[in-house]
Amino acid sequence: MSTSSSPRTLHRLIDRLPRHVDRRVRVFAWLSFLAEVLIIGTGGAVRLTGSGLGCPTWPRCTPDSLVNTPEMGIHGIIEFGNRTLTGVVGILALVVVVLMWRLRRERRAMFVLSLVVLGGIAAQAVVGGITVLTGLNPFIVGFHYIASVVLVTVCAAFLTLMYLPAGPRERAVPGWFAGLVHATTGVLALTIVFGVLTTGAGPHSGDAAAVQRNGFDAEVLEHVHAWPGYALFALTLVIVVLAWRLGLPVRRWSTALLAVEVVQIAVGLYQARNGLPEIAVGVHMVLAALTAATMTVVVLRLKSPASSADRSAERKVEAARR
């Protein structure tokens, strides 16, 4: 190969490599994630202020008005504000999909995740409508919250992959350690489910007219909810100690996970011992979503770019230089 043709070949090789995610994608991906977390907070505010039926119909706010009316007071403002934020979340998700379109082949996993978020938001709007039309059925409300947490974790997965190189990845930790992390993820999911059931049995129905609860004993569920919560903390502590001792790539993120769990446990104990104050319950809901998001990062960081792919790229570059 001549010297003059080598640079051209090298440039062609570089052009074929997966393109990096540009700044616009990063900005809107972060905005989308923050909006998903925010809507959990505003959704909690709707419930905890008794504004769940502030807009008593769906998709209109009232049978005669698309928006809230002055006669509906603060509850109408809070509920309609939450519905409006759903539109903002949807627009942000749509922008991410549009920006990822040109990278749909090079960054296929990220493109699929962006579609999942957009589709999930549309589905969530429908579930929100069903929630209103069923008079805030506690099981539908609980499902609505869990679906929101799932969307937060999908956004977290998108953000994680956004900062990682494209291409195949391989496990960067021992198999038994990966199994421990996945088992801990299952315990986290169980903790969130029991937390939702506990809230569905408690006093915060979302509206004075929505007196139906799920029928479980709230006091018993508080203890049942705490058991997997403490197991989650213990398992995470083991993960952190082992990650630092073995120098594993997840050591910092697992430490962040432990820190979030400590705050979550403190808030949970506070709300349980002080009659479930609304602000504490709302913070607890948001922290649960952030815990799930951090766990998602830990799981994805169990893998790193495949060394075989790195060697292949190096061989191609070396061949281009000859």
- Convert the pLDDT of each residue in 27-47 to its tens digit: 999 999 999 999 999 988 888
pLDDT of residue 22: 84
Q: Which residue has the higher pLDDT, 310 or 23?
A: 23
pLDDT in tens, 120-159: 999 999 999 999 888 888 899 999 999 999 999 999 999 9
Q: Which residue reads 């062609």 in tokens?
A: 12
198 has pLDDT over 80: yes
Mean pLDDT is highest, among 168-172, 174-178, 273-277, for 174-178
Q: Is the pLDDT of residue 101 over 80?
A: yes
**Of the candidate ranges 64-73, 111-120, 242-251, 256-265, the one whose mean pLDDT is the lowest:** 64-73
pLDDT exceeds 50 at position 90: yes
Q: What pLDDT, on the 0 to 100 scale, is given for residue 130?
A: 93
Q: What is the mean pLDDT of the chain?
A: 86
- CA atoms lying within 13 Å on the CB side of residue 302: 18
Over residues 275-315, the pLDDT tens digits come to 888 899 899 999 999 999 999 999 999 998 775 444 444 44
Q: How far apart are CA 158 and CA 180, in angstroms?
A: 23
pLDDT computed for residue 322 by the predictor: 46
The DSSP 8-state label assigned to residue 57 in this structure reads S
Residue whose pair of structure tokens reads 């060394």 in the numeric block: 307
> What span, in angstroms and rounded, lies between the C-alpha atoms of 201 and 205?
9
CA atoms within 13 A on the CB side of 275: 0
Residue with tokens 């502030």: 54
Identify the residue with better confidence: 308 or 52.
Answer: 52
Of residues 166 and 23, more confidently modeled: 23
Q: How many CB atoms lie within 10 A of CB 7?
A: 11
Question: Is it the case that residue 180 has pLDDT exceeding 90?
Answer: yes
pLDDT grade, residue 8 (50/70/90)? low
Q: Is the separation of the CB atoms in 261 and 232 below 8 Å?
A: yes
User: Between the ranges 106-110, 177-181, 313-317, where is the mean pLDDT highest?
Assistant: 177-181
Per-residue pLDDT, averaged over 108-118, amounts to 96
